[in-house]
Amino acid sequence: MSTHIAVRDLCLHYGQTCVLKNLSLEIQRNEIFTIIGPANSGKSSFLQTLNRLNELSADFRKTGSVTLDEEDIDTIDVEQLRARVGIVFALPFPLPLSIFDNISYGPRMHGIRQKTQLADLVERSLREAYLWDEVKDRLHHPAMNLSGGQQQRLCIARVLAGQPEVILFDEPTSGLDPISTARVEETMMVLRDRYTIVLVTNNVAQAARVGTRTAFFLMGEMVEVGATRDVFTRPSDSRTDEYVTGKFG
Amino acid sequence: MLVVLPVLVILSIITYKGFSALSFDFIFGMPESGMNAGGIFPALLGTIYLVTGAILIAVPLGVMSAIYLVEYSRDNAVSRLIKLAIVNLAGVPSVVYGLFGLGVFVVFLGFGVSILSGSLTLGIMILPVIITASREALESVPKSFRTVSLSLGASRWQTIRHAVLPHALPGILTGTILGLGRAAGETAPILFTVAAFYLPTLPESVFDQTMALPYHLYVISTQVPGVREDFRFGTALVLLLLVLILNLAAIVLRYRFRKKKRW
């Protein structure tokens, strides 16, 4: 195991509001790092820092450093960074294009024009996201016609097509039924072999099912981090214990 | 009903009195014997030239301004000043645009009384319509499209070009065609900058004068005594039909794009 992402003394602010205080942690290569915690604990803000998406809000500020493969993410070209660190949002947002065009969007923006190369990428990404068999006959139909679960796997495939190293999941199953949720979780388990995964979830049981290591965030602070089994069976902090056993949150 | 009534009355009077003048020679012929015979082709062609010129000037400028306002500018003093300027530009009377065009394009820049001056003047006149329509069209594109596009590593311009503009196009087109209709019908801005009383030949370059439908209508109705009544109403009818066709095109386009909309 080697460190893929290292976070040191990270503080995040939106205007006057501090959403994350003094966070330091390391994320290993090829693990599923899960982050749990109640609403407003800074989980999603942290996640969107990793590919600098929250820079889109005008009043966002950050201090401290995040490195990807020992390179400061602020020195990496932001478009390259977002291709290397992909994100899957809570709600599936397909673009109003065909399935094929949705998945080839990222690669095309990075200058891949060749039809055969794009077709290969689309097929490989869809297979990796376990969607190929369901959509292979209608690649040129609008992506908006897919079911919610299929749309979410489409969004995963779309991220994979950018050939990332890290995939961020921001509560990816909060809008899905249990069966679709199970499929997305299976996909994540398989993807772990090739990618580093950071999963933010409201669903404590999900973190327990898929996590390698788990961090518990509460009100902008990381209360605890450790192997998922340890965090769930013998937490070192009483607040973690109360949260994972469902006493609050 | 009270609104519909005047429209119907105007339409029916103009059609009733002008329809008999409509013929191939009337639309595609040159004016003859002191505009009392022949056709209105130079005026019709002039209006088409002017409208095309105005669109070529106003659309790129208007769409770029709207993109700047919606996608790039933050809410600060500068962008508020620009928005205020646009609102004011929309409220300026058209005759003032005419005088402005005369002062700036005809005299100061030395374009003379020409199609170029007239197109520029009309272009500036319809700029606020196009900017406002384009802004609304851009703002109605869901924010998630931009977030998704950026999160996939597209640059800001790529995001606008591929994830935003295509979906704003119908609204921009509608605004453009509304501006087109307005540019076709206005008399005052072209009065000082381009319109000719009578020309025996068609214009050959953008520095030539041209006749134009609205001004031609004014001329044959008030300046030349004894022009046949059906000629005057016929000219009005052609102008009306031109604007009507443009507006109809806007409605059809908007309808077709709405049907294609998928979110």
- Residue A124 has a CB neighbour count (10 Å cut-off) of 16
CATH of the domain at B98: 1.10.3720.10
CA angle, B220 then B225 then B229, to 5°: 60
pLDDT score of B148: 93
In terms of Cβ atoms closer than 10 Å to its own Cβ (0-12, 13-18, 19+), residue B66 is buried
Q: Which domain range does residue B175 map to?
A: 40-260
A77-87: average pLDDT: 92
If pLDDT is split at 50, 70 and 90, which confidence band does B57 have? very high
CB within 8 Å: A87 and B151: yes
Task: Indicate if the pLDDT at residue B263 is higher than 60.
Answer: no
The ipTM (two decimal places) reads 0.88
The total number of structural domains that make up chain B: 1
- Does a structural domain hold residue B24? no
- pLDDT of B67 reads 94
Element (H, E) at B34: none
Task: Please check whether residue A2 lies inside any domain of the structure.
Answer: no
pLDDT digits (tens, 9 = 90+) for B32-47: 766 667 778 888 888 8
Total number of domains in chain A: 1
Tokens 């005026």 map to which residue? B43
* DSSP structural state of residue A9: E
Query: Number of CB pairs < 8 Å for A and B?
Result: 60
Residue A59 binned pLDDT confidence (cut-offs 50, 70, 90) = confident
Q: Which helix (H) or strand (E) holds B38?
A: strand B37-38
Query: In 3-state terms, what secondary structure has residue A203?
Result: coil
In a domain, B34, yes or no: no
Q: Does A173 map to a domain? A: yes
Q: In chain A, positions 89-108, which contact chain B (CB-CB < 8 Å)?
A: 89, 91, 93, 95-96, 105-106
Residues of A in contact with B154 (CB under 8 A): 79, 105-106, 109
B235 within 8 A of B43, measured Cβ to Cβ: yes
A 50-69: CB under 8 A from B: 51, 53, 56, 58
Give the pLDDT mean for B151-159. Answer: 91
B152/A105 touch (CB, cutoff 8 Å), yes or no: yes
Report percent pLDDT > 70 for chain B: 97
Band (pLDDT 50/70/90 cuts) for residue B146 is: very high
Q: What is the dihedral of CA A67, A68, A74, A78, to 10 degrees?
A: -160
Q: B209-258, pLDDT tens digit by residue?
A: 788 888 888 888 888 777 777 888 888 898 888 888 888 887 887 788 77
Q: Which residue of A has its CA nearest to B157?
A: A109
- With cut-offs at 50, 70 and 90, classify the pLDDT of residue B135: very high
pLDDT digits (tens, 9 = 90+) for A155-201: 999 999 989 999 999 999 888 888 889 988 998 999 999 999 999 99
Residue range of the domain that includes A96: 29-56+77-244
HEC string for chain B: CCCHHHHHHHHHHHHHHHHHHCCHHHHHCCEECCCCEECCHHHHHHHHHHHHHHHHHHHHHHHHHHHHHHHHCCCCHHHHHHHHHHHHHHHCCHHHHHHHHHHHHHHHCCCCCCHHHHHHHHHHHHHHHHHHHHHHHHHCCCHHHHHHHHHCCCCHHHHHHHHHHHHHHHHHHHHHHHHHHHHHHCCHHHHCCCECCCCCCCCCCCCCCECCHHHHHHHHHHHCCCCCHHHHHHHHHHHHHHHHHHHHHHHHHHHHHHHHCCC
Instruction: Say whether residue A159 is in contact with chain B using an 8 A CB cutoff.
Output: yes
Indicate the burial class of A205 (C-beta count within 10 angstroms; 0-12, 13-18, 19 or more): exposed
- Residue B262: what pLDDT? 54
**Tokens 């170029």 correspond to what residue?**
B116
Residue range B160-181, pLDDT digits in tens: 999 999 889 888 888 888 888 8
Q: Is A105 close to B154, i.e. CB distance below 8 A?
A: yes
Evaluate whether residue A3 is within a structural domain.
no
User: Could you give the CA distance from residue A1 to residue A227 in angstroms, rounded to a whole number?
Assistant: 14
What is residue B173's predicted lDDT score, i.e. its pLDDT? 87
Tell me if B65 is assigned to some domain: yes
Decide: helix, strand or coil at residue A166. Answer: strand
Report yes or no: A7 and A23 within 8 Å, Cβ to Cβ: yes
Nearest chain A residue to B154 by CA: give it: A109
Q: Is residue A236 part of a domain?
A: yes
Residue A174: what pLDDT?
A: 86
Q: Is B152 close to A86, i.e. CB distance below 8 A? A: yes
Whether B210 is covered by a domain: the verdict is yes
In a domain, residue A8? The reply is no
**B23, part of any domain:** no
pLDDT category, A102, cuts 50, 70, 90? Answer: very high
Please give the average per-residue pLDDT across B121-127, as a whole number. 93
Over residues A64-87, the mean pLDDT reads 91
Residues from chain B that touch A83, judged by Cβ atoms under 8 A, are 152-153
| Count of positions (residues) in chain B | 263
Q: What is the DSSP string of A21-58?
A: EEEEEEEETT-EEEEE--TTSSHHHHHHHHTTGGGGST
List residues in chain B touching A: CB distance below 8 A: 74, 144-145, 147-155, 158, 162-163, 167, 261-263
Q: Which amino acid is at B62?
A: G
Averaged confidence pLDDT in chain A: 90
- Centroid of chain to Cα A46: 11
Q: How far, in Å, CA of B210 to CA of B187, rounded?
A: 13
Q: With bands split at pLDDT 50, 70 and 90, how would you rate the model's confidence at B188?
A: confident
List the single range of A198-212, B1-15, B112-126, B216-230 with lowest mean pLDDT.
B216-230
B74 CB neighbours in chain A (<8 A) are 58
The residue in chain A having the minimum alpha-carbon distance to the alpha carbon of residue B151 is A82
Predicted confidence at residue B175, as pLDDT, reads 87
Q: What are the DSSP E strand ranges found in chain A?
A: 3-14, 17-28, 32-36, 60-68, 71-72, 85-88, 166-170, 196-200, 213-218, 221-227
Which has the closest alpha carbon to B235: B219, B255, B213? B213
CATH number of the domain encompassing residue A203: 3.40.50.300
In a domain, A23, yes or no: no
Torsion of CA A219, A221, A222, A223, to 10 degrees: -70
- Provide the shortest C-alpha distance from residue B262 to chain A (in Å): 6
Report the SS3 class of residue A214. Answer: strand
Largest CA distance in chain A: 56
How confident is the prediction for chain B on average, in pLDDT? 86
B159: closest CA of chain A, how far (Å): 9
Q: How far is CA A22 from the centre of its chain?
A: 21
Query: Identity (one letter) of the amino acid at A43?
Result: K
Residue of A nearest to B161 (CA): A109
**Which residues on B lie below 8 Å from A96 (Cβ)?**
145, 167, 261-263
Q: How far is CA A230 from CA A44, A200, A239, A244, in A?
A: 23, 18, 14, 12
Q: Is B3 among the domain residues? A: no
- Does a structural domain hold residue A14? no
Q: Which residues of A touch B148 (CB under 8 A)?
A: 89, 93, 95
